[in-house]
Structure formats: C-alpha cells, structure tokens
Amino acid sequence: MGDVNAFYMEGKDFSESYLYELSMLAREFFPMAEIAKEPVDVNLYCEGRTWRLVAGEEVQEHICPQDSVFAGIGGDAGKNSLKAGLYELLSRWTGRQVPWGILTGVRPTKIAYSALEQGRNRGELQKQLTEAFHLRGDKAELMVQVADAERQLLEDHRGTDLDLYVGIPFCPSKCSYCSFVSYDFHTLGDTMERYTQALVQEIRACGAFKKERRLQSFYMGGGTPTSLTPDQLDRVLGAIQEAFGFENMREATVEAGRPDTITRERLGVLKKYGIDRISVNPQTMNEETLVRIGRRHTVEDTRRAFALARDMGFTNINMDFIMGLPGEGLKEAAYSMEEVVKMAPDSLTVHTLAVKRSSRLNQEGMGESVLDSQDIEAMIAISAEAAARLGMKPYYMYRQKNMAGNFENVGYSLPGKECLYNIEIMEERQSILGMGAGAVSKFYEPEMNRLERLPNVKNVEEYIRRIDEMLERKKRRFDA
C-alpha cells in the first residue's frame, strides 16, 4: 500500500489499474494520521468473488455483490463489484463509512453525466449511487445535481470544438500547500521577459493549428497570470487576439489570483482585450493564516483588489477559498465566508485542502495539523450555506488525492456566471490547446471517446530552450 504501509493485498488476476483503485479505496478507511499513531497490520486477499481480511488472529470474509447491480453506470461492472465488496468488508471491520463510497477517481461527475446523457432518471440514478456505489445521500445528490447542470451548459457541445489554455508559472511567493510548478518572480531576473517572448512565439505558431474548429473558451492560469508586467500581459493577450480572436469565444477567463498582483494597469489590459471573467483568490480572510501559508498579501489587499475590479466594470468575478488550512477551524471558516457574502462575488470555488507530497506543507510536517473529517465537513457545510445565501448553485466538482477527509472541491455560481472551461476540463469531451510551460494539450476523438495528452515541459528554462521542439510536436499531432 505504498507510503501508508498498512496493508498487503494479493490478487493474481488483478490488472495494474484494478490494484491501484482497490488500494486507493482501502486507504480511505485508514487515515494516515491514525496509522502513524496506531500502526495496524492488515492483510487483504481476494479469491474469486470473496474478500478475506486477516488482522492477527482475526479473519473476516465478504462476498462481492453481483455485477448486475452496477448495470448502466460506471463502466466496468466487474471492477465496481470488487470495489463494493472491499468497501463493505472494510466498512464493517473499521466501523467507518466513506462519504464518496467506492468512487476513487478525480472526476466522479463523469459517471453521472454519462448516465443522464443515456436517459437515466435522476431519482433512480441517485438511488443506485447510494445503494450500490455506497455514496452518502448528500454526495449522490450533489453529484447528480452538478452533472445535470453541466449537461445543460454543454447543450450545444459538439466534441470537435477547441478550448485554449495559457499557463503563467510565476507567483509573488510559494504557498505552503502548493504542488504546482511555479516560481517566485522576485528571484528570476530577466526570466519572465524571456518566457514571455517564447510564449508569444508559441501562441502565434499555434494560431495555424486551429483550422476549422469552433473556439469555445480561453483560460489563462498559473501560477498567477497577473505576475506578468502590464506590458508583458498586453503582449501575450495581443498574441492570442491576433492568432485566435477573442470575439469568436463564448468565454475568456484570466485567473488573476493573488490580490497583491492586481492593479489598475493590469486590469486595464484585461479590459482592453474583453476578458469577461477573472478570479481574485484569497484562500482565506484570516490574516494569521495568510502569514502561516506564505502568502505576501493582506486581507485588506483582497478587499481592495475586489473593489477595484468591480469599479472597473468586471461583472463576473470568482473567488477561491480552501477549507482546512493549518491553524484554521470552524470559527475561521465562518469568518471567511461572512466576508465573502459581504463582497458578493459572482462565483465561489471551495477547495478542501489536499496535502501533496511536493508541497512545503507536507515536507515541513504541517500536514499533520489537518483537522479531522467531521470538522472539515462542517467547514464545507458553512461554505455551501454561504453560496446559497448568495444565490449560487453548484455547477462543477472534482476530487484530489490526499484531500482532508476525502471530500471534494465544488464550484458554485450565480445563473449565467459559470465557467465553461472548468466544466470542459472535468468532463474531458473536448480538445484543449495548451500553451506555456507545463501546459497540457488534450486531443479528443469523439468517435472513440478517447483523449490523448501532449504536455509541454514544466521547467521554465527548458521551455524557453526547447520551444521549437514543442511546436514541431504540436504541428505533427494537428497534421495527423
């Protein structure tokens, strides 16, 4: 079981993908913090359709349910049966229930989306998710609600359309929880300028690749895109305008992100190119937490940046928050959400803290301070209530590895203020042309419902040096 070191699993007929999903499911019953305090020695075996658990002298067995109970949803019924059998055995032995049942993937809504697309009744689907897949009732309801919202927003989706993504891997500082490739721009000298030049080169060359595809959305993320100077930001967006044309897109988002990078000059550049959706992402409205996680802005910076964006005419502003940050409890979460209600953004993305291996939070041991699942769940409920007070409904959702309490990230929005790109990236039914260091192009083949990934190199210096090589790879793929 890898770094958890709590189980030994045998299964001669298991494929590698089966073993991975079964292992991930088993881990959810034994939180890492509890294993560190009270190590357990558990062996799991599967023979035919029977799971056996051996813990010292204790032996328990459980027979997997029939494949037929998984009919019409979730793909491989045999795998789902094995997962359900393991879930039922471990739930009985530990006395635990996992909110998301046997679902271990990042994109659980894909299952509900496909079932609804095939004509499944919402009530019947929700019942099957609860009874066969062991989702808790509220999670099954959320999953079906989000999938239904996604289907309505993608009503004219053709599968042959194209989204654009541009990555800016720079930030004012590195947050303790961050596992993305990002660089503190204060230490880089002329690197940002050289990166801008290489990125503009890639954008201009990629303009020839779109061919007859309909452009749906543009998303600039990071990092923090507004780490670029106003001139650099202008050149990048100017290249996008020249190569692709914003007027052809349904949506254009720039994840401005860190409030300490949001200035009137940068927002003016965004307005110049018709960017209609931005993010102001404080993650918390508690001053002490901002210091603790390594962000170099204040709560007042957040209020200032948000008010400035509103004053300049931005009518679709998103805000990101993280539940379960080190040192925060219910009081801090409630305060952050009260402040959000006062500011009244147009959409709200609520993340559950994920302690990634490469993050400073994990390397410095701060991940051990993560709250238990009941506290995290209460914080999630506080954020959902705040979104409801603002008139928002959930429209997209995903999960990550190592999330506190094994919960989820949810995007809430006012009607008409949803982010189309966020839905596309979750459902994976459309091609995405990714530009910039670490950006991943995804080529969707609708006739086979298959997605092929083509990543750019992550290291900024390597990206600058190898830009011609990456452009040649993209050209070969588009010409194929």
Mean pLDDT of 338-356: 90
Give the Cβ contact number of residue 157 at 10 Å: 18
| Model confidence band, residue 2 (pLDDT cutoffs 50, 70, 90) | very low
Sign of the four-CA dihedral 279, 280, 285, 289:
positive
Q: How confident is the model at residue 1 (pLDDT cuts 50, 70, 90)?
A: very low
Half-sphere exposure of 157 (CA within 13 A, CB side): 21
- Domain ranges for the chain: 1-96, 100-153, 162-435
Specify the fold of 162-435.
TIM Barrel (3.20.20)
> Is 437 in contact with 169 (CB distance < 8 Å)?
yes
Whole-model pTM: value is 0.89
Round the average pLDDT of the chain to a whole number and report it: 87
| pLDDT for the residue numbered 182 | 67
| pLDDT exceeds cutoff 60 at 12 | no
Question: Percentage of the chain surpassing pLDDT 90?
Answer: 63
Instruction: Kindly state the tokens that stand for 205.
Output: 């060359």
Among 103, 127, 35, smallest CA distance to 407 is for: 103
- Predicted local confidence at residue 372, as pLDDT: 65
* pLDDT band, very low/low/confident/very high, at 180 (cuts 50, 70, 90): low
Backbone angles phi, psi at 31, to 5 degrees: -50, 140
Directed axis angle between helix 122-131 and helix 137-153, to 10°?
Answer: 140
Rounded Cα distance between 456 and 467, Å, is: 9
CA quadruple 289, 290, 293, 294: dihedral positive or negative? Answer: negative
Band of the pLDDT at 448, cuts 50, 70, 90?
Answer: confident
Which single residue is written with the structure tokens 């393991």?
86
Is CATH 3.30.70 what the domain over 1-96 is classified as, yes or no?
no
* Per-residue model confidence as pLDDT tens digits over 33-44: 444 445 567 888
Measured between its terminal Cα atoms, the distance across the chain in Å is 41
In three-state secondary structure terms, 60 is strand
Distance between CA atoms of residues 246 and 260, nearest Å: 27
pLDDT in tens, 355-394: 544 444 444 544 444 556 788 889 999 999 999 999 999 9
